Amino acid sequence: MSDVSTTKSMDDIMSLCKRRGFIYQASEIYGGVNGFWDYGPLGAQLKKNLRDAWWQDIVMNPCQGKPGPKGDPVSIVPVDTCIIQNPKVWEASGHVGGFNDPMVDCRETKSRYRADHLFCMGEKGDKSGQIYAFVENNDASFDAALKKLGKYKKKELTKDDIDICPLTDLSVDELAITVGPDAKEVGTLTEPRAFNLMFKTYLGATATEDDIAYLRPETAQGIFINFKNVVDTTRVSVPFGIAQTGKAFRNEVTPRNFTFRSREFEQMEIEFFCHAEEANDWYAFWRDWRMQWWQEIGLAGENLILREHDKDELAHYAKEGAGTSDIEYRFPFTAPGYGELEGIAHRSNYDLNAHQNHPDSNTKLEYLDTTRGELAKNGQPKGERYLPDVIEPSAGLDRGVLAILCEAYTPDPERPSKVFMKFHPRVAPIKAAVFPLVNKDGMPEKAAELHQLLVKKFGHLGKIETDPKQSIGKRYARMDEAGCPFCFTIDGDTLTDGTVTVRDRDTAEQKRIPFDDVVQFVATGLGLT
Ligand code: ATP
């Protein structure tokens, strides 16, 4: 497995994404719009395949049949809730009051940074000299700051000569002698200011303050506010989960790193409701299974890690002593560090409690568990009412797609395309391609027959490509860049001996198999048998 940090350049990956129609800048013909990305034909299918894989393994066949901590099957039901909800939902959840990132502006360069992403350096032991700020996890920014400090000190400095601290630890006086990451002048950074990340809109025509609503910053709250509906209208019983996928919007201060930090993105979230006594076991179960899932979908190497949070990182809703962990991927732009793909959090009963206690919700959300409580005279439990604890595995679909693109990108100077995309067959946007060697002599008709056969069998899983034009080498090269696992070629021999050539994407090896075995060959390759 390759180390993306050393062998792959983000510029190369982005240029392939554009060239082959995976991802485009949104509103490109108008100069783009910062923090928004559109998916092209291959990207849309890749994203759908990842979302479908999640849906299949969470909703249709939870955890691929793996039993929960007590040996019972895992139970999950889906919902699909609105992007705009009553604004009180976001008051109760804490987003109106607390969904703030501290933000710093540079008066000189007009750049805006998240305060918690800025770090500062000064020469060791020197309290009076200038301080230089740089952007965390950005080597170029770090090197530039070190160079500027060296120039100011009139000597060559290395990492060992400096002290580093978060910008948020600086006093006002220290901020006044700080040079911003891209600035030349001293003291141009503002103090960190809170900034609400929710996009506002107005409901109805009058657009007064009373009509303000918000685009959801996470899909999770749509689940919590429907907890009672789901319990009352279906046959679920705790422990069970509710899952949904959908768009979320955050007015990120500094959208960057391609789709990694966007202002519009898609989440795949599960809220898993369980009794507080069982929450730690369910937390460990979900944490481990979600890690395994990302590995099975093609991120199986040292670029993927599971990181338990330190105590001081815990979010406001996390229970004292309860676990929170991130599944992180080493993207080319975070290397040697990692960026979050999915967070698994033990949220206690924070959200249900907040919605139950909001003065305007007026709804008891407690669950009556008839399997618990003291035993009645008839020997049956009397039941226990409680607000369940929640384990939340919350994944970013766009970040998942980006990690898969980075992992799949495989430079190969020997090939005409110089690169191929080594997608796991389950997510590959094109599942197979059928080519007539030349566009005559009965070959196009035979290719069309095989193409139709494969479309009927596998077309619901992804595209089956066919293309009669150009040299066969060029057609293979195009499929390598698209990450198509298998190409079948119909040639003169096909018409006489009933065999076709199959070319394997990863090895570029070719062999002949009977025409009649192609469907079985693809089924096996896609892991369907
Ligand atoms: P970060 O610390 O990177 O801002 P977060 O901890 O705020 O992320 P969560 O609120 O836990 O993220 O959201 C769950 C998932 O949603 C994340 O793991 C990530 O995959 C995805 N996500 C969050 N913010 C963005 C964004 N701006 N762009 C793309 N995906 C995002």
Query: 209 and 307 share a domain?
Result: yes
Residue of 54, 257, 340 best suited for mutating to test ligand 1, as the one with most atoms within 8 Å of CB = 340
Query: 182 and 260 share a domain?
Result: no
Query: 166 and 234 share a domain?
Result: no
How much is the pLDDT for 4?
54
How much is the pLDDT for 1?
46
What b/e sequence results for 32-69 when a residue is b if at least 16 CB atoms lie within 10 Å of its CB, and e otherwise? Answer: eeebebebeebbebbbbbbbbbbbebbbeebbeeeebe
**H or E segment at 350?**
helix 350-357
Query: 379 and 499 share a domain?
Result: no
How remote is the CA of residue 341 from the centroid of ligand 1, in Å? 7
Nearest to 62 by CA among 393, 427, 396, 344: 393
Query: 278 and 211 share a domain?
Result: yes
Listing from the earlier edge strand, what are the strands of the sheet with 304-308? 76-78, 240-249, 264-274, 389-396, 339-348, 324-329, 304-308
Name all residues whose Cβ lies below 6 A of ligand 1.
218, 250, 252, 261-262, 265, 267, 340-343, 394-396, 398-399
Kindly state whether residue 12 falls inside one of the protein's structural domains: no
Among 177, 195, 213, identify where a domain stops.
195
Nearest atom of ligand 1 to the alpha carbon of 269: 14
Nearest CA to ligand 1 atom 24: 261
Kindly state whether residue 462 falls inside one of the protein's structural domains: yes
Kindly state whether residue 391 falls inside one of the protein's structural domains: yes
Burial of 297 by CB count in 10 Å (0-12 exposed, 13-18 middle, 19+ buried)? buried
Residue of 199, 265, 286 best suited for mutating to test ligand 1, as the one with most atoms within 8 Å of CB = 265
How remote is the CA of residue 308 from the centroid of ligand 1, in Å? 16
Phi, psi of 23 (to 5 degrees): -140, 135
Query: 117 and 162 share a domain?
Result: yes
How remote is the CA of residue 224 from the centroid of ligand 1, in Å? 19
Kindly state whether residue 325 falls inside one of the protein's structural domains: yes
How remote is the CA of residue 65 from the centroid of ligand 1, in Å? 28
Burial of 369 by CB count in 10 Å (0-12 exposed, 13-18 middle, 19+ buried)? middle
Q: What angle do CA 64, 68, 529 make, to 5 degrees?
A: 15
Cross-strand bridge partners of residue 308: 325
Nearest CA to ligand 1 atom 22: 396
CATH number of the domain bearing residue 73: 3.30.930.10
**H or E segment at 120?**
strand 118-123
How remote is the CA of residue 396 from the centroid of ligand 1, in Å? 6
328 within 8 A of 137, measured Cβ to Cβ: no
Encoded amino acid at 365, one letter: L
| Relative orientation angle of helices 41-55 and 397-408, to the nearest 10 degrees | 110
Listed in sequence order, the residues at least 6 apart from 75 whose beta carbon sits closer than 8 Å to its beta carbon are 62, 236, 237, 239, 240, 241
Kindly state whether residue 270 falls inside one of the protein's structural domains: yes
- Digitized pLDDT (tens) for each residue of the chain, 529 residues in all: 445 545 699 999 999 999 999 999 999 999 999 999 999 999 999 999 999 999 999 999 999 999 999 999 999 999 999 999 999 999 999 888 777 778 888 888 878 888 888 999 999 888 778 999 999 888 889 999 999 999 998 989 898 999 999 998 998 888 999 999 989 999 999 888 887 889 999 999 988 888 999 999 999 999 999 999 999 999 999 999 999 999 999 998 889 899 999 999 999 999 999 999 999 999 999 999 999 999 999 999 999 999 998 766 655 555 555 789 999 999 999 999 999 999 999 999 999 999 999 999 989 999 999 999 999 999 999 999 999 999 999 999 999 999 999 999 999 999 999 999 999 999 999 999 999 999 999 999 999 999 999 999 999 999 999 999 889 999 999 999 999 999 999 999 999 999 999 999 999 999 999 999 999 999 999 999 8
Nearest to 135 by CA among 256, 249, 32: 256
| Relative orientation angle of helices 397-408 and 10-19, to the nearest 10 degrees | 100
How much is the pLDDT for 112?
80
Q: Reduce the DSSP state of residue 181 to 3 states and report it.
A: coil
Residue of 221, 399, 401 best suited for mutating to test ligand 1, as the one with most atoms within 8 Å of CB = 399
Query: 130 and 87 share a domain?
Result: no
How much is the pLDDT for 317?
57
How remote is the CA of residue 237 from the centroid of ligand 1, in Å? 30
Q: Which two tokens stand for residue 421?
A: 């995309």
Give 488-499 pLDDT, tens digit per residue: 999 999 999 999
How remote is the CA of residue 399 from the centroid of ligand 1, in Å? 8
Nearest CA to ligand 1 atom 18: 342
Kindly state whether residue 14 falls inside one of the protein's structural domains: no
Kindly state whether residue 8 falls inside one of the protein's structural domains: no
Query: 276 and 311 share a domain?
Result: yes
Nearest CA to ligand 1 atom 25: 261
Kindly state whether residue 43 falls inside one of the protein's structural domains: no
Nearest atom of ligand 1 to the alpha carbon of 400: 20
Query: 352 and 431 share a domain?
Result: no
What b/e sequence results for 447-473 when a residue is b if at least 16 CB atoms lie within 10 Å of its CB, and e otherwise? Answer: beebbebbbebbeebbbbbbbbeeebe
* Overall number of domains in the chain: 3
Nearest CA to ligand 1 atom 20: 396
How remote is the CA of residue 371 from the centroid of ligand 1, in Å? 37
Among 407, 439, 460, identify where a domain stops.
407
Query: 435 and 367 share a domain?
Result: no
How much is the pLDDT for 320?
56
Give residue 178's domain range: 101-195
How much is the pLDDT for 31?
97
Beta strands 37-39 and 23-25 are antiparallel
Nearest atom of ligand 1 to the alpha carbon of 250: 27
How remote is the CA of residue 169 from the centroid of ligand 1, in Å? 24
Strands of 257-415 (E only): list them.
264-274, 304-308, 324-329, 339-348, 367-369, 384-386, 389-396, 409-411
Single pTM value for the model: 0.86
Among 365, 388, 407, identify where a domain stops.
407
Query: 62 and 120 share a domain?
Result: no
Nearest CA to ligand 1 atom 3: 340
How much is the pLDDT for 310?
75
Query: 357 and 478 share a domain?
Result: no
